[in-house]
A and B are shown apart, each in its own frame.
Chain A
Amino acid sequence: MESILNALVSGFVSGSLYAIMALGLTIIYGISRVFNFGHGIVAVLGGYLAWTFFTRASLPFVVSLLFMLPVMYLLGWLVYRYAIRGLMKKPNADFSTVLFMLGLGIMLENIILQIFGPRVKAVPELVTGSIMLGAIKIKNHELALMVIVLLGIIVLTQFFKRTRMGQAMRAVAQSIPGAGVVGINIERIFGYTFGLAFMVTGFSGALLASKYFMIPHIGWDWMVKGFVIVAFGGMGSIPGAVVGALVLGMAESFTTLALGAVWVWPVWFIMFLVLLLLRPQGLVGGRN
């Protein structure tokens, strides 16, 4: 009983981290139709930047985030403005943008490796200690992570619902010609979208790096997880990414409990393939 409750908690913790990680991916895809194959490394970059500001510059964690987020936003905007924007106008844009993002990921991974080296790094825990909830023990750090993720998701959904820019992003996601007809500058919105998505992705990287360890190439692992989650929940759908992440987070912790950690990937992919057979549009349903 106790181990089941523990698995439940740990599934919830990793599920919420996966959720915020998958959001950056689903935002870019949902709005601009560009598949970010460098997603995981962008998250890792966010993690390393936060780590640098936090441990090297000795800034408080929240301040480190405040420094890291604008850098990530700027990077995303630059990537769109000086590379993706041109590629999207050419034939074969689906393919060339994917290859560009993949190449960018490989390049960033090696830059990170050159600067920070191959040794394992971790962002220290935000708060130490733990509390007992009935029979189960939860780390305060994990509780803090869940609260931060929850707040992040609320802020994002409110941004898309209430602000003029967020609404314009949804409009572009739903109909590009419709957005053009009402006078939305579509390229500008794509630029903001890349900035926002890189920012969210970097943010998730900083959180992931405080729960798990971090090495430059761990990003590829995170990216595959992100892809499975996004496709599982529904491509381009924010609720889809959150639900997908929680389901797969639970699957991960219960598989680890019942069969051992090596079975996590096989179980994930079996669930993923079965879902694709039954509901190709994903659990919540986004775009195909």
Chain B
Amino acid sequence: MFEIKDLCSAYGDIQVLYNIDLHIDEGEVVALFGPNGHGKSTLLKAISAVHPARSGSILFKGQEIAKTPAHKIVELGIAYIPEERFLFPDMTVMENLNMGAYNLNARKSMAENLEFVFDVFPRLKERRGQLCSTLSGGEARMVAIARGLMCNASMLMVDEPSIGLSPSMKFAVFEAIEKVNREKNLTILIVEQEIEHALRMANRMYQIRKGRILFERKADEIDVKEIEKAYF
């Protein structure tokens, strides 16, 4: 369903990603691990074309999308939930969710997606009239994820959804992502530092180090010690 071949990405003269090969099957949850600053977020930004790749190919449902602009990627069905959230601070929760359904495909199924999002995050239903600048960190994270779900995508890329959250909030966020995968059969690519949490839902994982894929493991052959060792 999704396949990256020989992808390289750089910021100016500094190359961050080297010859990345990665594939994801439909409905799969794939986790991406690796130390900070080694290219995990850069990879998600390259896929979403927020910061397009230098070279290489990205195939999504058989279509080459490496040169496709960011707004078209969303329309094709890949939603990106950045670590930085990038909410619209002076808009209400509801308005932010509306903007998530900006692309024309999402417009059609907006009511249905909204119902699902409020089912996953009942808290947001209570807060729907509140300005996003007044939300707590955990609530803002929920809006970011919910806004991504409103895009009506078939693949979701989530960058460090648990960062900076309280333990109970972390749990709620992971539970929500699992539910999305289970009930909507969304394909998920997740970057996460909470290895144990992420492994509970992942079917497969990739380890990134210094901009290259170090190894790839299926769920039943994952060794947490091996992953932890790869961080140092």
Q: Is the CB of A175 within 8 A of B87?
A: yes
Is B147's beta carbon under 8 Å from chain A? yes
CB-CB under 8 A from A181, the residues of chain B are 48, 50, 70, 74, 80-82, 86, 148
A178-B88, A181-B50, A183-B72 given; 15 more Cβ-contact pairs under 8 Å? A164-B102, A168-B102, A170-B90, A171-B88, A171-B91, A178-B87, A179-B99, A180-B71, A181-B74, A181-B80, A182-B151, A183-B73, A183-B74, A183-B75, A185-B69
Q: Is the CB of A180 within 8 A of B70?
A: yes
Is A174's beta carbon under 8 Å from chain B? yes
B150 CB to closest chain A CB (Å) equals 8
- A175, B103: Cα distance in complex, Å: 17
A31 CB to closest chain B CB (Å) equals 13
B contact residues, range: 20 to 34
- A98, B223: Cα distance in complex, Å: 57
Q: Which of A175, A177, A183 contacts B102 (CB 8 A)?
A: A183
The 9 lowest CB-CB distance pairs between A and B, nearest first, are: A183-B74, A178-B86, A174-B88, A183-B103, A185-B71, A177-B86, A183-B71, A180-B70, A175-B86
CB-CB under 8 A from A164, the residues of chain B are 102
Which chain A residue shows the least CB distance to B107? A164
**Interface-central residue, A164, A168, A183, by most chain B CB under 10 Å:** A183
Is B34's beta carbon under 8 Å from chain A? no
> Which residues from 165 to 219 on chain A have a C-beta closer than 8 Å to any C-beta of chain B?
167-168, 170-171, 174-175, 177-186
Is B194's beta carbon under 8 Å from chain A? no
Interface of A is mostly: helix
- A102, B151: Cα distance in complex, Å: 40
- A30, B70: Cα distance in complex, Å: 23
- A184, B69: Cα distance in complex, Å: 10
What count of chain A residues pass the 8 Å CB interface test? Answer: 17
Is B84's beta carbon under 8 Å from chain A? yes
Q: Can you offer 13 A-B residue contacts whose CB atoms are under 8 A?
A: A171-B102, A174-B90, A177-B82, A177-B84, A178-B85, A178-B87, A178-B99, A181-B70, A181-B148, A182-B100, A182-B103, A183-B71, A183-B151
CB-CB under 8 A from B72, the residues of chain A are 183
CB-CB under 8 A from B103, the residues of chain A are 182-183
- A65, B147: Cα distance in complex, Å: 40
CB-CB under 8 A from A174, the residues of chain B are 88-91
Interface mask (B95-128 → A, CB under 8 Å = 1, otherwise 0): 1001110110000000000000000000000000
Q: Is the CB of B91 within 8 A of A184?
A: no
- A186, B95: Cα distance in complex, Å: 18
B105 CB to closest chain A CB (Å) equals 9
**Interface-central residue, B70, B87, B148, by most chain A CB under 10 Å:** B70
Which chain A residue shows the least CB distance to B89? A174
Q: Is the CB of B147 within 8 A of A182?
A: yes
Interface mask (B193-229 → A, CB under 8 Å = 1, otherwise 0): 0000000000000000000000000000000000000
- A170, B96: Cα distance in complex, Å: 11
- A170, B85: Cα distance in complex, Å: 17
B76 CB to closest chain A CB (Å) equals 10
Q: Is the CB of B84 within 8 A of A168?
A: no
CB-CB under 8 A from A180, the residues of chain B are 50, 70-71
CB-CB under 8 A from B69, the residues of chain A are 185
- A186, B151: Cα distance in complex, Å: 17
Which chain B residue shows the least CB distance to A175? B86
- A164, B104: Cα distance in complex, Å: 11
Q: Which of A170, A183, A185, A186 contacts B88 (CB 8 A)?
A: A170
CB-CB under 8 A from B48, the residues of chain A are 181
- A184, B102: Cα distance in complex, Å: 7
B153 CB to closest chain A CB (Å) equals 10
CB-CB under 8 A from A183, the residues of chain B are 70-75, 102-103, 151
B74 CB to closest chain A CB (Å) equals 3
CB-CB under 8 A from A171, the residues of chain B are 88, 91, 99, 102
CB-CB under 8 A from B82, the residues of chain A are 177, 181
Q: Is the CB of B102 within 8 A of A182?
A: yes
Q: Is the CB of A182 within 8 A of B50?
A: no
